C-alpha cells in the first residue's frame, strides 16, 4: 500500500494536497477525480448513523447510547451492533462513523456522560476496541473520540485540562490505546487543551499516539477545533469541517514563505490516502455490508436495550405475572428520551414508547402526572398539517430577497438546518402549518430559533422580534435555541393558521452555509397541575402494579452543557413518593443516560435503570418487566445517593484551567478512597434467577470461577475481577477492575468462566514507562466493586 500512496502523492501539486487535508463540506472529505479518489461523506455517531443531513426524510436506526452499551458488559454484543452501524453507514454513503465516544465519566454532571461508556478505563477500552473491530470488519471506519481529556462540556472549546502523567496514561489515554490496538483508521482530537496546548496541536498526538502506539490512520479535528493556520505543522491530519479555511490559501502562503514545511502536509496526505484505500474510496469500491431488514434492526435494538437495563432493586415484584393490571405514570412513559442531545442525535423512523410497548402486553392505564418542563415541545404530527398537501407535517419555503427558491413538505416540526442546500442560498425561511387543537384549553404556540423571528397566527403578527442566542456555546443555535410563545384559548377541533418567518440574517457561518435549529412548538393544555398529579396517584391506587417512568430532557443531558443538578426535573420525585405511598407495588423506571438522585429508592418495590435505550424502548421495557427476558445490565458507573456526596464533581474551570486534582482516583476509585457508600456501586445489577459461585483458581494471569444457575429460569452472570495491592510503595486505588466476562446459563447449568487479566492491569506508569511492582497482588472476584466474596493471591 505504501508504494501506491507514494506514487499518488507524487502526482499532486501543493493545491491538490491542500484540497485533501480540509473537508469539502460540513460532513464530507474531499475527493480528486484525477487520481480516482471519491469524496468521502462521514457522519455522527456513535449510536446510529445520522448521515450528512439532519433530516427526518432520511431516518436512521437509533441504538442504545454509550452508557447503555457499556451496561451490557458484553463486548461480544458489539459484533452485531457494529454490523448494523456499518450497514446503516453504507446505506447512507458514509465512509466513517464518528464514534465511539470514549472519554470517561469523570463527573456525573458531564453533559456527554450518556454518550461515553464508563468511569472505568478497562471497561471503556474493551468496548472501544470491540466497537472499532466490529464496524471496521465491514470496511467502514470508526472514529474513536475525543482525544483526550474531553470529559466535560463547560467551556469546552477553551478549557485547559491539567492532568498528571499517571492519570493520563492509566485512565484517560488507555481507551484510545486499546482502540488503536484494535486497528482504528481514524481518531478525532478534542476541543480542549491539555497542559496548556490545544489538542489539535498537542504533542500527545505525536507521542504516544503516532509514536509508540504506531497509529497510522487519520487524526481528524473535532469540528472547528483547528484554530490557526500554523497548526498544520502539528499532528492533526484533517481539518473539519470544510470547505478549507485555515488550511486553504493561508496555509499555501505560509508554505511558499518557508514558514511551514510542505513535508508536514505530505505526511497528512499519506494518511488520508491510506484511509481512502482502507474504506474503498480509491482503487476499488466500498465493501458490501450485511443486510438489515427493518425487522432485523428492530429486533437487535430491542434485544440490546433489554440487555442494558440495570435492575438495581427488586423486592420480588418483578417480573410481572401475565395479565397484571398496570398503572403507567410519569412523563417519560408517553414521551420518553430514546437518545441524548447534541451531535449524537439521529432521527429514528420508528419508535416504541413505554406506553405503546406495555399496552401491547398488559392491561395498562396511563397519565403523565407531572410535566418535565415548562418548555415548548415540537408540535406533534397529530396536530399539524401541511396546508399545501393536507398531510401531517409542515410546509417549509426558502426565499432569497422575496424570490422563492423551493418548498419542502416536512414531517417534523423541529428542523435542523445544517448543510441544507436550499437554506444555503436563502435569506428567509418560512414555516407554514395548520394547527388543529385536539383538546380544549389554553394552548401555547410558539417558535424556538434565533435571528429575526416573526410568528403569525391566522394572519395576525403576534411575535416580531430579534432573538439573540442566550448560551455561550454556539452549538446551541442548533441544539437548544431560545423559545418565544403566545397563549391561545382553543376549543377541541379549532384550527389555527400558523406561519413562522425567520430572517436568516447572520445564520450563515462563512464557508458552512446556514446553521440553524427552528422548531414550531406547542405546549398543550393540561388539567391543572394538582388535578393531573392526583389523577396519576388514583390510577396507581386502582391498579395491581404502578410503573412510574421518570427521566431527564434533551436540554438537561446534552452536548454543550454540563448539568447543574442531579435531581430529576419537575415534580417527578414527589410523584414517585406519592405513587409509592398509594401502591406498595411500585416499580420506577429511570430514563436517563447518567445518574440522577433517587431519594425514594428505598421506598419503592423495584428500580430499573433504562438509560437512553434507542428506538425500541417500550418493547424492550415490556420484555424486561414481564420477564420475557432478563434485565442484563450492570452499572458501568457509580450511582450516587446525592450530588453533594459525589467525590469528583466539579467541571468548572478556574481561570480557564480544569485541574484533575484527584489524579488516578476517579469513579469507584474515588468513592473507595472517600469511604462513602453510593446508592449503588459500580458493577451492581440484579437478574431474575439465583446463583452460586465458587472454586476460584488463578493460574498465571488467568482467573477461573465456577458459576451455577440455581434458579428455575435462564440468567446472565457478569463475573468481575478486581486487583488490589495491600502494601505498596506507590499510590494506588483501593482496588481496580482487571477483567470481566458475561455468561448465560440455563436453569441448573454450571459453567467455568475464565478471565485472562491483561498485563497492563498489573502495571503502573512510573513517569517514563510501564512498570510492575514486584510482589503479590490480591485478586478479588464477584458481582460488583463492593461484592467480592472470592479472593486469591497472584504474584
Q: What angle do CA 758, 760, 761 make, to 5 degrees?
A: 75
* CB of 288 vs ligand BGC, minimal distance in Å: 26
Radius of gyration of the chain (CA): 27
How far is the C-alpha of 47 from the C-alpha of 28, rounded, in Å?
A: 20
CB of 163 to ligand BGC, least distance (A): 19
Nearer CB in complex with ligand BGC: 347/696: 347
Nearer to ligand BGC, 52 or 532 (CB): 52
Residue number, 329 or 475, with CB nearest to ligand BGC:
475
The smaller minimum CB distance to ligand BGC, of residues 72 and 221, is found at 221
- For 231, phi then psi, to 5°, come to -60, -20
How far is C-alpha 218 from the chain's CA centre? 22
Cβ at position 186, least distance to ligand BGC in Å: 11
Q: How many CA atoms lie within 13 A of 13 on its CB side?
A: 4
Neighbouring C-beta atoms of residue 323, cutoff 10 Å: 9
Min separation Cβ 307 and ligand BGC, Å: 25
- How many angstroms separate the CA atoms of 745 and 714, rounded? 6
Q: How far is the CB of 44 from ligand BGC (least distance, A)?
A: 5
The answer to whether 57 touches 410, Cβ cutoff 8 Å, is: yes
**Chain positions contacting ligand BGC, by CB under 6 A:** 44, 98, 145, 222-223, 343, 475
3-state secondary structure of 533: helix
Which CB, 156 or 585, lies closer to ligand BGC?
156
What are the φ/ψ torsions at residue 523 (nearest 5 degrees)?
-135, 110
Integer CA distances (angstroms), 461 to 446, 450, 490, 620, in order: 12, 17, 18, 46
What DSSP string runs through 89-142?
HHHTT-SEEE--B----SSTT-TTGGGB--S-HHHHHHHHHHHHHHHHTTT-EE
Nearer to ligand BGC, 201 or 222 (CB): 222
Asked if 393 and 366 touch (Cβ cutoff 8 Å), the reply is: no
Min dist. Cβ of residue 45 to ligand BGC (A):
6
Q: What is the distance between the alpha carbons of residues 71 and 307, in angstroms, rounded to a whole number? A: 8
Q: Which of 44, 155, 160, 222 is catalytic?
A: 222
> Under DSSP, is residue 516 helix (H, G, I), strand (E, B) or coil?
strand
Between CA 225 and CA 204 the distance in angstroms is: 16
The pairing of strands 460-467 and 28-29 is: unpaired
CB of 148 to ligand BGC, least distance (A): 13
| Beta carbon of residue 345, minimum distance to ligand BGC (angstroms, whole number) | 10
The nearer residue to ligand BGC, 44 or 307, going by C-beta atoms, is 44
Minimum separation from the CB atom of position 182 to ligand BGC (A): 19
Q: CA–CA separation, 513 vs 693, rounded Å?
A: 60
Cell of 385: 398539517
**244 closest CA partner among 426, 15, 34, 44:** 15
Nearest distance, CB of residue 46 and ligand BGC, angstroms: 9
291 closest CA partner among 43, 83, 132, 97: 83
124 vs 343 by CB, closer to ligand BGC: 343
C-alpha cell at 1: 500500500
Q: Chain-centre distance of CA 410, in angstroms?
A: 26
Q: How far is CA 758 from CA 11, 208, 347, 738, in A?
A: 45, 20, 39, 7
Alpha-carbon gap, residue 184 to 788, rounded angstroms: 35
For the question of residue 74 being annotated catalytic, the response is: no
Q: Which residues of 457-483 are buried (b: 16+ CB within 10 A; e: fewer)?
A: beeeebbeeebeeeeebebbbbbbbeb
Residue 465: strand pairing partners: 453
Please identify, using beta-carbon distances, which residue of 135 and 303 lies nearer to ligand BGC. Answer: 135
Looking at beta carbons only, is 222 or 386 nearer to ligand BGC?
222
Question: Toward ligand BGC, which CB reaches closer, 157 or 682?
Answer: 157
Beta carbon of residue 156, minimum distance to ligand BGC (angstroms, whole number) = 8
Strand 310-314 with 606-609, pairing: antiparallel
The answer to whether the bond into 782 is cis (omega within 30° of 0) is no
Catalytic residues: 222
Amino acid at each position: 500500500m505504501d508504494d501506491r500512496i507514494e506514487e499518488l502523492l507524487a502526482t499532486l501539486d501543493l493545491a491538490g494536497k491542500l484540497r485533501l487535508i480540509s473537508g469539502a463540506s460540513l460532513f464530507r472529505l474531499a475527493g480528486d477525480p484525477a487520481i480516482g479518489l471519491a469524496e468521502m461523506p462521514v457522519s455522527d455517531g456513535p449510536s446510529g448513523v445520522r448521515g450528512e443531513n439532519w433530516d427526518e426524510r432520511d431516518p436512521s436506526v437509533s441504538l442504545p447510547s454509550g452508557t447503555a452499551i457499556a451496561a451490557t458488559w458484553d463486548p461480544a454484543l458489539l459484533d452485531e451492533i457494529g454490523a448494523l452501524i456499518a450497514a446503516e453507514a453504507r446505506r447512507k454513503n458514509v465512509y466513517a462513523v464518528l464514534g465511539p465516544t470514549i472519554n470517561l465519566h469523570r463527573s456525573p454532571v458531564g453533559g456527554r456522560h450518556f454518550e461515553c461508556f464508563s468511569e472505568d478505563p478497562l471497561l471503556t477500552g474493551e468496548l472501544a476496541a470491540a466497537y472499532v473491530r466490529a464496524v471496521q470488519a465491514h470496511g467502514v471506519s470508526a472514529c474513536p473520540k475525543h482525544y483526550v481529556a474531553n470529559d466535560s462540556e463547560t467551556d469546552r472549546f477553551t478549557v485547559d485540562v491539567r492532568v498528571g502523567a499517571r492519570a493520563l496514561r492509566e485512565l484517560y489515554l488507555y481507551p484510545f490505546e486499546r482502540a488503536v490496538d484494535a486497528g482504528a483508521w481514524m481518531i478525532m482530537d478534542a476541543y480542549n487543551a491539555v497542559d496548556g496546548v490545544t489538542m489539535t496541536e498537542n504533542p500527545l498526538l505525536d507521542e504516544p499516539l503516532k509514536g509508540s502506539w504506531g497509529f497510522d490512520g487519520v487524526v481528524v479535528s473535532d469540528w472547528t477545533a483547528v484554530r490557526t493556520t500554523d497548526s498544520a505543522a502539528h499532528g492533526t491530519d484533517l481539518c473539519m469541517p470544510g470547505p478549507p479555511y485555515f488550511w486553504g490559501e493561508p496555509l499555501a502562503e505560509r508554505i511558499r514563505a518557508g514558514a511551514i514545511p510542505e513535508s508536514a502536509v505530505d505526511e497528512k496526505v499519506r494518511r488520508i490516502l491510506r484511509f481512502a484505500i482502507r474504506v474503498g474510496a480509491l482503487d476499488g469500491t466500498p465493501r458490501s455490508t450485511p443486510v438489515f431488514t427493518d425487522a432485523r434492526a428492530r429486533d437487535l435494538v430491542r434485544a440490546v436495550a433489554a440487555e442494558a437495563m440495570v435492575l438495581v432493586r427488586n423486592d420480588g415484584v418483578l417480573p410481572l405475572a401475565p395479565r397484571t393490571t398496570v398503572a403507567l405514570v410519569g412523563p417519560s412513559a408517553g414521551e420518553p428520551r430514546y437518545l441524548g442531545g447534541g451531535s449524537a442525535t439521529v432521527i429514528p423512523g420508528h419508535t416504541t414508547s413505554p406506553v405503546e410497548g406495555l399496552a401491547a402486553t398488559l392491561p395498562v392505564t396511563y397519565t403523565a402526572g407531572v410535566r418535565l418542563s415548562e418548555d415548548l415541545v415540537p408540535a406533534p404530527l397529530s396536530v399539524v398539517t401541511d396546508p399545501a398537501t393536507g398531510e401531517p407535517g409542515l410546509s417549509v419555503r426558502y426565499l432569497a430577497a422575496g424570490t422563492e427558491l423551493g418548498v419542502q413538505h416536512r414531517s417534523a416540526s423541529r428542523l435542523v438546518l445544517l448543510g441544507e442546500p436550499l437554506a444555503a442560498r436563502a435569506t428567509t425561511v418560512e414555516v407554514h402549518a395548520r394547527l388543529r387543537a385536539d383538546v380544549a384549553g389554553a394552548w401555547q404556540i410558539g417558535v424556538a430559533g434565533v435571528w429575526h423571528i416573526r410568528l403569525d397566527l391566522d394572519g395576525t403578527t403576534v411575535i416580531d422580534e430579534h432573538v439573540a442566542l442566550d448560551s455561550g456555546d454556539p452549538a446551541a443555535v442548533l441544539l437548544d435555541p431560545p423559545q418565544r410563545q403566545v397563549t391561545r384559548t382553543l376549543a377541541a377541533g379549532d384550527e389555527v393558521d400558523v406561519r413562522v418567518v425567520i430572517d436568516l440574517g447572520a445564520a450563515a457561518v462563512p464557508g458552512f452555509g446556514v446553521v440553524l435549529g427552528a422548531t414550531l412548538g406547542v405546549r398543550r393544555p393540561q388539567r391543572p397541575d394538582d388535578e393531573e398529579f392526583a389523577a396519576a396517584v388514583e390510577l396507581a391506587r386502582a391498579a395491581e402494579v404502578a410503573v412510574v417512568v421518570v427521566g431527564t430532557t434533551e436540554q438537561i443531558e446534552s452536548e454543550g452543557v454540563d448539568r447543574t443538578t442531579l435531581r430529576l426535573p419537575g415534580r417527578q420525585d414527589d410523584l414517585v413518593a406519592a405513587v409509592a405511598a398509594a401502591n406498595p407495588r411500585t416499580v420506577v423506571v429511570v430514563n436517563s443516560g447518567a445518574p440522577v438522585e433517587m431519594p425514594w429508592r428505598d421506598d419503592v418495590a423495584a428500580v430499573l435503570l433504562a438509560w437512553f435505550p434507542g428506538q425500541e424502548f417500550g418493547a424492550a421495557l415490556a420484555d424486561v418487566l414481564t420477564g420475557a427476558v432478563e434485565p442484563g445490565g450492570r452499572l458501568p458507573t457509580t450511582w450516587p445517593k446525592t450530588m453533594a456526596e459525589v467525590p469528583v464533581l466539579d467541571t468548572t474551570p478556574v481561570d480557564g484551567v480544569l485541574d484533575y486534582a484527584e489524579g488516578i482516583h476517579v469513579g469507584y476509585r474515588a468513592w473507595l478512597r472517600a469511604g462513602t457508600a453510593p446508592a449503588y456501586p459500580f458493577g451492581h445489577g440484579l437478574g431474575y434467577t439465583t446463583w452460586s459461585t465458587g472454586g476460584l483458581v488463578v493460574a498465571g494471569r488467568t482467573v477461573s470461577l465456577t458459576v451455577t444457575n440455581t434458579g428455575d429460569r435462564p440468567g446472565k452472570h457478569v463475573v468481575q475481577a478486581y486487583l488490589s495491592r495491600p502494601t505498596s510503595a506507590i499510590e494506588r486505588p483501593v482496588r481496580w477492575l482487571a477483567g470481566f466476562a458475561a455468561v448465560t446459563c440455563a436453569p441448573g447449568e454450571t459453567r467455568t468462566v475464565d478471565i485472562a487479566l491483561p498485563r497492563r492491569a498489573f502495571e503502573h506508569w512510573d513517569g517514563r514507562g510501564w512498570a510492575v511492582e514486584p510482589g503479590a497482588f490480591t485478586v478479588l472476584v464477584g458481582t460488583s466493586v463492593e461484592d467480592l466474596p472470592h479472593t486469591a493471591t497472584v504474584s
